[in-house]
Amino acid sequence: MLIKRLALTASIGLALVLTGCAGDQVPSGAPVDPTTVTVAPTPTPTTHASTAPSADPKQTDVFTLKVGDCLNDIDEMLISDVPLVDCAAPHDLEIFDEFTVTDASWDPVSLAQEADSGCTDRFAAFIGLPYDDSTLDVTSYKPTATSWITGDRLISCMVGDSSAPTVGTLRGAAR
């Protein structure tokens, strides 16, 4: 049996990540006031008479994702931000459903099983074809031990085509 899964096996988590901007320019030896950091805006290319959707990802907090959002694949296990993109532009994944975990306690094995079965059960209603008959892949974001403690019980189901980026929604794709 062909096992269909995207390389993405990320879980929703509260990753304590400190980020810096390599583009900050401070003259050598100049005093730096840590309460005032200025980042120069990135120039936006000028386009003429173009209405093409933006494929530039916008980093978005994973806890703000909703059904219908499209994003690009990321290669991390614990994440806090995801690259959200316009669904009309090429993208890797689309959030097609979400549901609340029924388990009373955090158990990574049963949580993964509930995410797999819950997402594949909801697949046909969105795609128009049972998961086992489809060429598309399903993955999910699920609570981590840390996010569970803070009350996270949401599983976000995502669909994508591992052979090529998708343009537009996969709703009703029947493939």
Kindly state whether residue 155 falls inside one of the protein's structural domains.
yes
Kindly state whether residue 170 falls inside one of the protein's structural domains.
no
CA distance 114 to 119: 8
pLDDT tens for residues 106-153?
Answer: 999 999 999 999 999 999 999 999 999 999 999 999 999 999 999 999
Q: Is the pTM of this model over 0.75?
A: no
Tokens 């120069």 correspond to 40
Question: DSSP assignment of the chain, as one string?
Answer: -PPP--S---EE---------TT----TT----TT----PPPPPPP-SS--PPP---EEEEGGG--TT-EE-----SEESEEEEE-TTS-BSEEEEEEEE---SS--HHHHHHHHHHHHHHHHHHHHSS-GGG-S-EEEEE---HHHHHTT--EEEEEEE-TTS-B-S--TT---
pLDDT for res 152: 94
Kindly state whether residue 27 falls inside one of the protein's structural domains.
no
Q: Work out whether the CA dihedral 109, 73, 63, 76 comes out positive or negative.
A: positive
Kindly state whether residue 139 falls inside one of the protein's structural domains.
yes
CA distance 123 to 74: 22
Kindly state whether residue 173 falls inside one of the protein's structural domains.
no
Kindly state whether residue 126 falls inside one of the protein's structural domains.
yes
Start-to-end CA distance of the chain, whole Å, equals 18
Tokens 């996010």 correspond to 147
Q: Which domain holds residue 2?
A: 1-15+55-163
pLDDT tens for residues 42-86?
Answer: 333 333 333 455 557 789 888 999 999 999 988 777 778 899 999
CA distance 17 to 150: 18
Structural domain count of the chain: 1
Kindly state whether residue 175 falls inside one of the protein's structural domains.
no
Kindly state whether residue 30 falls inside one of the protein's structural domains.
no
